[in-house]
Structure 1
Amino acid sequence: MSAERIQINIALIFILTFYSLFSNAQRYSVEQLKQLSQHQPDSAMVLLKKNYSRALTENRKEQEALCLQQMGWICFSQGHYKLALAYYLDADKIFNTLSNLDLKASNLNDIGLFYYYNKQIDLAKEHYDKALVLLQKTKNKKGIAETFGNIGHIYEKKQQYDSALFYQRLALQNFSSTKDKNGVAKIYENLGSVYEDLEKYDSAAVYFKKSLVLYEEAKNEIGSVEVVNNLGDLLRKTGKYAQSIAKTKEAYQMALDLGNNYQLAATTKDLGKTFGLMGKMDSAYHYSELSRKHTLDIYSLDGIKQTSFLHALYDMDKKSDEIRELQANRKVNQTIIIATLIVLALLIALSVTLYSRQRLKIKEQQADARQKQIESELLASQLKNQQLEEDKLKEQLDLKSKELSNHTLNLIRNNQFLERMRSSLQLMVKDEKRDQKRQMQKLIHEINDSITQEQHWKEFTFAFEQVHQSFFERLKEISQDLTASDIRLITLLKINLNSTDISTLLGISNDSLRVARYRLRKKLNLPTGENLTSYIQSI
């Protein structure tokens, strides 16, 4: 581990300690939040939830909205898009009641970014435009620059390159007055990307190099890796393969020093492409496999983070339920104490006036009877409400079960379609036409990469955890050695799919499935003769 990464980890520990000691801390800076959420999203979410609850209790609206916005950012970065949008919209409602236009614009930019990455380009543009109007009112140069850059991305996505260049240059003009090196470097990188799309590689190289200088001055190592790799791409696209390999290897070494799997996967993939163009197929294959390894490492780490994050959300919801239950019990106890005191007061009053006011005694007894009747009716009403809640929860569980079935069916259909396409393409590959064979092999490789349909898996996992709550927690108690592939196989066995559907979903053969089941039995320490599916169903 590099010295700089050790310093980052120490800084994260310091942030957590500082927050726990000074519970009245208002808000993390954006950079602190991003660092904490990238390395420990579950911890960041817990801290923000506590701060939000405190702000809610103290009726600090601005702090409530900021916490909701930051929780939305964390959920977005972890791929929980539905929850992220809910947090963003809740924050927007509160910001609309406040006078701080910069904060409202910041949240609108985050919502725009959410829609951009979810390919809802028009909605993204709508929110960027709203943010820009607010920022121009407050003359917030940095915010205006960031928003212009975001709008430029929209036009680049639409392939309207003149508009993209226009907005990126506006962003550069505004950033230049803020002396924000990282911001200016990012816009230079954006301009280089637009010129690269236009195949104006000399102009693209100029802007990438300007961006690299600023990233290095700002000590932005991730940005530097991306730009160096972009320069390697330009060299490859202009046919300078040897120089391209040298530049891309430089980016690879930088990513290796940082331990950044995303950049490692990107650089090795580009090296594989370049060696392939040079006809050096052994090297091309080597770097392609290395890229695949780094990609799998990314999925594995993301899976661990996702599990930890979901567990943190579950714990927070569970604690919230416990707090509400304690508060309800406290109210019931208070009601009982008050009722008891009332009854005692009535008894004392009744004893004092027993001999002199017999009629009053009768009236008091009648009042007491009416009070008991009211309490009885109240209890009956509470029981009825409880039954309605149970019926509602049962309906929700049935709905989630249907959603889980739909997700499973979608996964099976998608993978069956891709399997048929792969088989057809494999037949075409047998044709002796070399150009056609190379193209078909590339398509098969792409289909193999996408056959698991990762987005469907995320939706399937989300629906599964809502139907089978605490299942993964119990599974973790049984075995600590389960991989992400093992977990997927277990979930499919849990919903009682047959072997054909499971092998289709996982993109493997029946023989490979039998091997996977055998390895899973060993990890779960199942004795010979015990049925694996029945055992998983019983967990």
Structure 2
Amino acid sequence: MISVYRILKVSILSVILTFSLLINGVYAADAPDPTIDDIIELSKRYPDSAFLLLKKLHHESVLKQDNRTTGICLQQMGEICYAQGHLAQSLDYYHQAHKLFTQLKDKGLLANNFNDVGTVYYQNLDKVTSRKQYDQAMRLYSDIKDRAGLGETYGNIGHLYEKEQRYDSAFYYQQRALKEYSHIDHKRGMAKIYENLGSIFEDLERYDSARYYFDKSLILYKKVNNQVSSIEVINNIGDILRKTGKYKDGLLYSQQALKMSLDTKNEYQEASAYRDIAKAYNLLGIQDSAFYYLELSRKHSLNIYSDQNNRQMSFLKIIYDTDKKNDEIARLENGRKINFIIGTAVVVVIALLIVMGLLTISRQRLKLRESKAIAEKNEQLNLAQQAQLELKSKELTTHTLQVIQHNQFLESIRDKMEEMIKEEKRDQKRQLQQLVKQIGQNINQDQQWKDFTTMFEGLHQSFFDNLKNHCADLTVNDMRLIALLKMNMSSKDMAVIFGISQDSLRVARYRLRKKLNIDQGDNLSAFIQTI
């Protein structure tokens, strides 16, 4: 898997270094796009131009609130400062990038930043802190399954162990790195690990194994056209040959490294090749040639040292001038912004006060009108509801009294007829019994109960709904009894309405208490009033 961070990094650096090379007059319009190795190498040659362009891109991305680009620019500025030997400034940029990447919750960007910070701490001889940074990177890469990132981190950890001469651990982590790179056929990464393994075996003086891994590394570096790393490996092979007594073969490799250094105009590798050639001639006993090439090596090393010092001084001046310029720009921009904000704020506040004043007056008037209209409407509605309730209550009471009077009248007739039955002759009894039966059937007619129920529900709309929610298995007679209890009807009147004795009414009340699950000491009528 190719990390998104690496794609963004190459894209940003490509743009920056294209401008940088155009500025320095070394980049043709029809030249092919630079590889990552070209970019890294060219950024070393033109760090000041690259840094200025990064600063500009950083400023633009801050204005656009593009945290991702801002963070990557900070990280690249950290890399340039690291390459120039300014470790403190480098760490500062890395820490700023870390804050932005944390806000973005981008594990890939965070892991890459941890790796870079670990390298800075390693160069600062703080190996404990360096390892902690690598461990953080390793966990994040594992989470996102970034094999290339894991390979780089394992390689860094292995390099730490190698410098501590803990070769078993160094070899273990280099093998893990090689496994990750091999899984995705990452040739450049595999070449670097083979080179590291060769270096471990060289330290252990196992030169055959060292040569084996250096050869594998060189093949892969040539496949990816990495000239700089190829020169380093060729120099390493030359060292191996000299250490094993093959001075002439070693000399050939050193001369090959020199030619490639001259072709690529890499003065650092050129100085290294001169030094290795001088060693070979010295071992061969050709002292004049040894002295000649050693002098060339010393000359180029001095040039490199002087050039590096000049570049570092120039770079420090650029950082200082850039920061000073940015601070001045920021101060002026902040001043303009503050003046603009104050002016705008004053206008807006005045306008808001006027609008709020008008709205407040209008709203108060509207509230007064609405309150008055609502009060009048509520008063009318309350009067209508009160009249309607009083009317319904009167109708219900009148209807109930009529039922009671009607039933009492019929009950009295029935009682008289029952007495007549006992006294009259046998042939009249049958007719009187039928009459009594008809009167009994008419004491409590269904229509009367329907009328009563309709009026009661109109007066107490939610009563029966609440009652059914409390107890769903109530019968029609239960509902009628409850309605009369709700009206605070006396037991005597209820018995008359139902056309039953008061003893029967007590039984009905008892059964109702059980259905409603009313405790022994609680009052049935009081319970019904709460529903």
The normalised TM-score by structure 2 is 0.57
Structure-2 residue corresponding to 1:82 = 88
- Give the share of equivalent positions with the same residue, in percent: 46
Q: Are 1:240 and 2:246 counterparts?
A: yes
1:55 CA drift (Å): 2.3
Structure-2 residue corresponding to 1:228 = 234
Task: Tell me if structure 2 keeps the 8 A contact 1:45–1:74.
Answer: yes
Structure-2 residue corresponding to 1:500 = none
Quick one: distance in 1 between partners of 2:143 and 2:334?
47
Quick one: distance in 1 between partners of 2:148 and 2:212?
24
1:199 CA drift (Å): 0.5
Task: Tell me if structure 2 keeps the 8 A contact 1:275–1:283.
Answer: yes
Structure-2 residue corresponding to 1:301 = 307
Between 272-281 and 63-72, the greater mean CA deviation after superposition: 272-281
Q: Are 1:99 and 2:86 counterparts?
A: no
Indicate which of 205, 215, 224 corresponds to 2:221: 215
Quick one: higher RCO (CA 8 Å, sep 6+), 1 or 2? 1
Flag the 1:313–1:278 CA change in 2: closer, same or farther, 3 A. same
Please say which structure displays the higher CA radius of gyration. Answer: 2
Unaligned stretches of 5+ residues in structure 1 = 1-7, 19-27, 346-539
Structure-2 residue corresponding to 1:270 = 276
Flag the 1:236–1:330 CA change in 2: closer, same or farther, 3 A. same
Structure-2 residue corresponding to 1:121 = 127
Q: Deviations over 1:199-252 (max 9, x none)?
A: 000011011111111111111111111111111000110111111112111111
1:162 CA drift (Å): 1.1
Structure-2 residue corresponding to 1:55 = 61
Q: How does 1:332-411 map to 2 (within 5 A)?
A: none
Quick one: distance in 2 between partners of 1:103 and 1:219?
27
Structure-2 residue corresponding to 1:395 = none
The normalised TM-score by structure 1 is 0.56
Task: Tell me if structure 2 keeps the 8 A contact 1:269–1:288.
Answer: yes
Task: Tell me if structure 1 keeps the 8 A contact 2:17–2:50.
Answer: no
Structure-1 residue corresponding to 2:76 = 70
Task: Tell me if structure 1 keeps the 8 A contact 2:20–2:46.
Answer: no
Secondary structure at the counterpart of residue 199 of structure 2: helix
Quick one: distance in 1 between partners of 2:35 and 2:14?
17
Task: Tell me if structure 1 keeps the 8 A contact 2:14–2:39.
Answer: no
Give the AA of the match of 1:160: R
Q: Are 1:138 and 2:144 counterparts?
A: yes
1:108 CA drift (Å): 0.3
Quick one: distance in 1 between partners of 2:345 and 2:197?
74
Cα root mean square deviation, aligned: 3.0
Flag the 1:335–1:120 CA change in 2: closer, same or farther, 3 A. closer
Q: Deviations over 1:450-477 (max 9, x none)?
A: xxxxxxxxxxxxxxxxxxxxxxxxxxxx
Secondary structure at the counterpart of residue 96 of structure 1: helix
Quick one: distance in 2 between partners of 1:320 and 1:156?
43
Quick one: distance in 1 between partners of 2:311 and 2:153?
30
TM superposition outliers: structure 1 runs of 4+ over 6 Å: 8-11, 15-18, 335-342
Number of aligned residues: 328
Structure-1 residue corresponding to 2:392 = none
Q: Are 1:40 and 2:40 counterparts?
A: no
Indicate which of 197, 202, 208 corresponds to 1:196: 202
Give the AA of the match of 1:148: Y
Quick one: distance in 2 between partners of 1:325 and 1:159?
52
Unaligned stretches of 5+ residues in structure 2 = 1-12, 24-33, 352-531
Task: Tell me if structure 2 keeps the 8 A contact 1:33–1:44.
Answer: no
1:114 CA drift (Å): 0.8
Quick one: distance in 2 between partners of 1:9 and 1:91?
20
1:315 CA drift (Å): 2.8
Flag the 1:102–1:12 CA change in 2: closer, same or farther, 3 A. closer
Indicate which of 322, 329, 342 corresponds to 1:323: 329
Quick one: distance in 2 between partners of 1:32 and 1:54?
26
Task: Tell me if structure 1 keeps the 8 A contact 2:16–2:53.
Answer: no
1:331 CA drift (Å): 5.5
